[in-house]
Amino acid sequence: MNPRLVLGLLASLLLAPVAHAADKKPLTADDIWAVARVGAPQVSPDGTRVAYTVTRYDMDENRGNADIFVAPVAGGPARRITTNKASDGSPTWSPDGTRLAFVSRREGDAAGQLYVIPTDGGEALRITDLPLGVSDPRWLPDGKRLVVVAHVIAGHESPEATRKAKEAREKNKVTAKASESRLYRFWDRWLTDEEYPHLFVVDVEAKTATDLLPGSKRHFSFQTGGGSYDISPDGQWIVFAANATEPPYLKVQSDLFLVSVAGGAVKNLTASNPANDGDPVFSPDGKTIAFSMERKADDWPDYSRLALLDVASGKVTALTDAWDNSTGGYAFSADGRTLFFHSEIRARTGIYSVPAAGGAPREVVKGGVTSGLAVAAGNALVFNHTTLSKPPELAVVNADGSGWRDLTHLNAELVARLDMGPVEDMTFKGAVGDDVQMFVAFPPGFDKSKKYPLLQVIHGGPVGTSADSFHFRWNAHAFAAPGYVVAMVNFHGSSSFGQKWVESILGAHPDKPFTDIMNATDFLISKGYVDPARMAALGGSYGGFMVNWIAGHTDRFQALISHAGVYSLLGQSASDATWGRQHSYGGYPFTNLANVEKWSPNRYAAGFKTPTLILHGERDYRVPVTQGLEFYGALQAKGVPARLVYYPDENHWILKPQNSRHWYGEVLGWLARWLK
């Protein structure tokens, strides 16, 4: 079936017609790409205004464009600051609030460069011309300079030398990549070109850039290449998170480092902690650094604690050791006495506060998923907020949790036109009798007296969650729209349910999650509105791994869909990130081969019977494309109905608008084909 036709015919493909309000319609993939996507809020120095980006996508152009807006925190109309055809991002306020610096790749730019624009109107002025571009700009207190992250090529670190090395590389007819490192590619890019992020101080008037980390070969974020850093209030110091281990990277570990804005020696502030440290933020007086700290090393799936580091003494105090769930997005109150942070608990990410002197955290914002926390005047909190039925918008709340109000309404008109069914939070008995949480999304016009097909949508990770969030790639309402009940189980191993829950599947990755998913299926059948003869399971990454496991262990489902799913645990030695897999798999192939093989889906091919759709991207280095090809090959050899959809220009995620629309068409078309 043509997937494009499926998108237009979904309402008529299944069961009986569903009654909708005359002026509303079910959510489609095109609606998802019509959502205006708001960026993280950036509060002005006086705390009265907030800058943010809004990205809108053009399906015909197959691309998005982001512009910068400024709105009063107290409420009122927003003002558009940039209108360029190129995407503008990472806005940051000058100390006097009269200018915004941002990153854009405009006409003539080979890579994203630093621009500055007056906030009261005017043209943007390009400040940098660095060959590999810049990211993450921050103003220094003098208002004359900024700090940026920019990559250099090892051995060719000046801008001109890097430019020449880049040009020579592009002209070279040899395309081979060679490595003797455990870390040679990450996510969707190769690291063999020896490009490393450095911190630069940029003089706005002189348009010069001074490298603060000459000779450094430390990676910041492997995935984005960007930085996690903060500048002291007096403008004298920069604290940043970076990998602390040396090539060939037999281990990776993030520590905090301190460097003077004037340049000089770099000091490791957290060398005594063998596990990961990150997300540093200076206190308003500059005497303390808040940061995230793990305690278990060697890439153990540990939770991130909020910790404080005394700059003078180096003493570290963990504030949330007993919290038992990860924290992040730290922000100090204006007086430095309170810290605000995000924490994911039971599949929702709220905002919490804790005294800097220590004490029990207090809930400030509950429900949905929050991100991008920033502190405004009067300790008002500005943040992104979303739910399963609400695309992200900016919101404001008082520090005590009162006075909630939406700051943006970018998608209110679109949402008002959509008919999205109800969502319920349910709990059932899973493996070993434990309570397991799941969200269930129902189709528009749901009638509990009728029977509906069931979709088990399995999240990735497994240290992840099916959250109360409007997902752009795996949208619950898009799946429910044709008339499906959609279950999203937060099985054993999921994040946000405590460290013991995360660790409960180590060494037996699919065991308890499989029981949880099957028990959830029985639980929903018992409700009376699920047709056990029309059920499907679908998931991506670890969710795809579980679909592949399900294929060999039950024939209860009429259709399966595996996106970027692990088929062979031995084959994951080709993944970009192999650290910590011995914990997940119960050993390495050379220490406990029997256990690795025991929990590998490919060992159960004899049980494959269910029609399966396999989707994979060529540039997926997390789960290499051979995993999907092997699974497809086994199904074809066995005579099981199977379809392969391959995206040569996508990574672990399907990110291009037209590819995404095609992906939804393939997924919904496969479901319609086998569940009708």
Q: pLDDT tens across 18-63, in order? A: 434 558 999 999 999 999 999 999 999 999 999 999 999 999 999 9
Whole-angstrom distance, CA of residue 339 vs CA of residue 189? 36
For residue 676, the model assigns a pLDDT of 85
**Residue 445: in which H helix or E strand, if any?**
none
For residue 349, the model assigns a pLDDT of 97
Whole-angstrom distance, CA of residue 641 vs CA of residue 243? 46
Q: Is the pTM of this model over 0.85?
A: yes
Q: pLDDT tens across 122-154, in order? A: 899 999 999 999 999 999 999 999 999 999 999
Confidence band, pLDDT 50/70/90 cuts, at residue 2: very low
- Does 11 have pLDDT greater than 50? no
For residue 15, the model assigns a pLDDT of 39
Confidence band, pLDDT 50/70/90 cuts, at residue 631: very high
Specify whether the CB–CB gap between 269 and 290 falls below 8 A. Answer: no
- Does 9 have pLDDT greater than 60? no
- Does 16 have pLDDT greater than 90? no
Report the pLDDT averaged over residues 585-589: 95
Whole-angstrom distance, CA of residue 15 vs CA of residue 676? 7
For residue 1, the model assigns a pLDDT of 40
For residue 284, the model assigns a pLDDT of 98
Report the pLDDT averaged over residues 561-584: 96
Report the pLDDT averaged over residues 538-543: 98
Specify whether the CB–CB gap between 297 and 252 falls below 8 A. Answer: no
Which of these, 354, 413, 414, 351, lies nearest to 384 by C-alpha position? 351
Confidence band, pLDDT 50/70/90 cuts, at residue 355: very high
Q: pLDDT tens across 64-116, in order? A: 999 999 999 999 999 999 998 899 999 999 999 999 999 999 998 999 999 99
Across the chain, what does the average pLDDT equal? 95
Sign of the C-alpha dihedral computed for residues 515, 652, 52 and 136 taken in this order: positive
Whole-angstrom distance, CA of residue 374 vs CA of residue 40? 9
For residue 121, the model assigns a pLDDT of 82
Could you give the C-alpha distances from 514 to 27, 602, 611, 616, 631, in angstroms and in order? 30, 16, 19, 23, 19
Number of neighbouring beta carbons within 10 Å of residue 398? 14
Burial of 527 (0-12, 13-18, 19+ CB in 10 A): exposed
Confidence band, pLDDT 50/70/90 cuts, at residue 227: confident
Q: pLDDT tens across 310-331, in order? A: 999 999 999 999 999 999 999 9
**Residue 97: in which H helix or E strand, if any?**
none
Higher pLDDT, 80 or 5: 80
Q: Which two tokens stand for residue 437?
A: 């949480």
For residue 18, the model assigns a pLDDT of 40
SS (H, E, C) 408-419: CCCCHHHHHHEC
- Does 430 have pLDDT greater than 50? yes
Q: What is the percent of the chain where pLDDT is above 70?
A: 96
- Does 3 have pLDDT greater than 90? no
Number of neighbouring beta carbons within 10 Å of residue 74? 14
Strands 612-617 and 642-647: parallel
Q: Say which residue the tokens 């109360």 belong to.
A: 468
Question: Is residue 218 helix, strand or coil?
Answer: coil
Confidence band, pLDDT 50/70/90 cuts, at residue 222: confident
Q: For the chain, list the domains and their CATH numbers.
A: 3-14+415-675 (3.40.50.1820)
- Does 17 have pLDDT greater than 70? no
For residue 143, the model assigns a pLDDT of 98
